[in-house]
Chains A and B, each alone.
Chain A
Amino acid sequence: MNIQEFLTIFISAVFIYNVILSRFLGLCSFIAISKETKPALAMSFAVMFVIVMSSIITWFVYRFMLLPFNLTYLRTISFILVIATFVQLVEMVIRKFSPQMYRAFGIYLPLITVNCAVLGVAVLNIDMFFLNGKQVAGSFYYSLFQGICVGLGYTLAMLLMSGIRERLELCNVPRALKDFPLAFIIGGILSLSFMGFSGFKF
């Protein structure tokens, strides 16, 4: 466990392998909720919180339940159940303690369950930081940090995209390209610019 390793995780999760623009995880929310900056930011923070918490929980589930009992083939089922339950719990807690925040998040919270970024990061953490059925040194901290970085990368992409699309509202675009098609093409150009980061490989 050293600083260099953390830096590598940060740069590759935020820039080189950006969740949305290079791994295509969470693409549905990226296209659907990026019309305005404010909801896009609210969604990003909600996703970031859930990703960080679920990478902690799934690490414990994998390390202390699935590995010792040789149940690793139940990975997908147990992770998605844990994530779905956790999202439900967060929703209930927020509704009880802060109705204001609950209204701000609105329908985005339940939608996060089916956001592939959350399950994707959990599976990725296990693939990267557990080798041959054994955890690498400091794997818990790496998983946690990767969760935070992926959340940051998601926020960055959402912010860029919603800013561009807000301005596009005023432009005159061909009728056939309105909405979805144009959003994909903008995403493609954004992703092209992120490809420049793959220059600094470690």
Chain B
Amino acid sequence: MKTLIKEFTKGIIKENPTFVLVLGLCPTLAVSVTVANGIGMGIAATFVLLGSSVIVSLIKDFIPGKIRIPCYIVIIATFVTIAEMSMKAYSPVLDRALGIYVPLIVVNCIVLGRAEAFACKNNLASSFFDGLGMGVGFTLALILISAIREFLGSGQLLGHTLIKGFEPIFVFGMPSGALLVIGLLLGFFNFLKNRKT
């Protein structure tokens, strides 16, 4: 039980997919204009991560080593299609906002990376918690980035105005703002790490 909790929590801080492993940045940067989009993307990616980790760890003994990557990709693509179709059906607004970045979860390096580095070597329970932890870590990172961008770019959080009379800095709502925010955040985390050692 203790190791399972460790598998879960390592994805949130120690091996955070966005800030420590620096993986899967395309969706992180593209959809983080508002917090609502960020949460939607995080949930979709967590679902795919969880599903693919569980399936890969279940059938790892039947997959021949040489063609394992195509097999993983098919499993991942299946879960992405499920996520895509349910999003279209239940939340068309979110689907329009996320656009082509939903099918692009297939090529998100985090998902394939976890299948290749963890799920194909570990049993069902630890793979489940590893996938869940990575997904939660990814979602939290998305929420952090999108909260900074939404607040600075439009003066709002989840659509509510926070400070009256705050003049929004439009550049943070633009693509360049995303790159600046993640660059500065990575630098900040590096600074904290350097000071500790």
Known: A76-B81, A183-B183. A176 touches B191 (CB 8 A): yes
Decide if A123 touches B104 in the complex (CB within 8 Å).
Answer: yes
Known: A120-B100, A180-B186. A187 touches B194 (CB 8 A): no
**A84 touches B (CB below 8 Å):** yes
**A77 touches B (CB below 8 Å):** yes
**A189 touches B (CB below 8 Å):** yes
B 40-71 binary contact with A (CB < 8 Å = 1; else 0): 00000000000000000000000000000110
**A188 touches B (CB below 8 Å):** yes
Decide if A187 touches B106 in the complex (CB within 8 Å).
Answer: no
A 105-135 binary contact with B (CB < 8 Å = 1; else 0): 0000000011110011001100100000000
B 156-180 binary contact with A (CB < 8 Å = 1; else 0): 0000000000000001001111111
**A181 touches B (CB below 8 Å):** yes
- Number of contacts between A and B (CB, 8 Å)? 125
Contacts of B15 in A (CB 8 A): none
Decide if A181 touches B179 in the complex (CB within 8 Å).
Answer: no
Known: A180-B22, A181-B184, A181-B187. A21 touches B175 (CB 8 A): yes
B 15-54 binary contact with A (CB < 8 Å = 1; else 0): 0000000110111011000000000000000000000000
Decide if A127 touches B179 in the complex (CB within 8 Å).
Answer: no
**A177 touches B (CB below 8 Å):** yes
A25 to B27, CA, bound (A): 8
Decide if B194 touches A175 in the complex (CB within 8 Å).
Answer: yes
Decide if A119 touches B106 in the complex (CB within 8 Å).
Answer: yes
Decide if B187 touches A177 in the complex (CB within 8 Å).
Answer: yes
Contacts of B177 in A (CB 8 A): 188
A184 to B22, CA, bound (A): 11
Q: Chain A nearest CB: distance from B144 CB in Å?
A: 15
Contacts of A84 in B (CB 8 A): 69-70, 73
Decide if A77 touches B74 in the complex (CB within 8 Å).
Answer: yes
Minimal Cβ-Cβ distance residue in A for B186? A181
Decide if A185 touches B78 in the complex (CB within 8 Å).
Answer: no
Decide if A176 touches B188 in the complex (CB within 8 Å).
Answer: yes
Contacts of A116 in B (CB 8 A): 26, 104, 107-108
Decide if B30 touches A114 in the complex (CB within 8 Å).
Answer: no
A178 to B104, CA, bound (A): 29
Q: Chain A nearest CB: distance from B176 CB in Å?
A: 4
Within 8 A of B (CB), among A156-199: 174-178, 180-185, 187-192, 194-195
Other than A27-B25, A73-B81, give 17 A-B pairs with Cβ distance below 8 A: A21-B175, A23-B30, A24-B27, A24-B178, A27-B26, A76-B106, A77-B78, A81-B70, A81-B77, A114-B112, A116-B108, A123-B104, A127-B100, A177-B187, A181-B183, A185-B187, A188-B176
Which residues does B use to contact A, with CB under 8 Å?
A: 22-23, 25-27, 29-30, 69-70, 73-74, 77-78, 80-81, 84-85, 100, 103-104, 106-109, 112, 171, 174-180, 182-184, 186-188, 190-191, 194
Which residues does A use to contact B, with CB under 8 Å?
A: 21-28, 31, 73-77, 80-81, 84-85, 113-116, 119-120, 123-124, 127, 174-178, 180-185, 187-192, 194-195
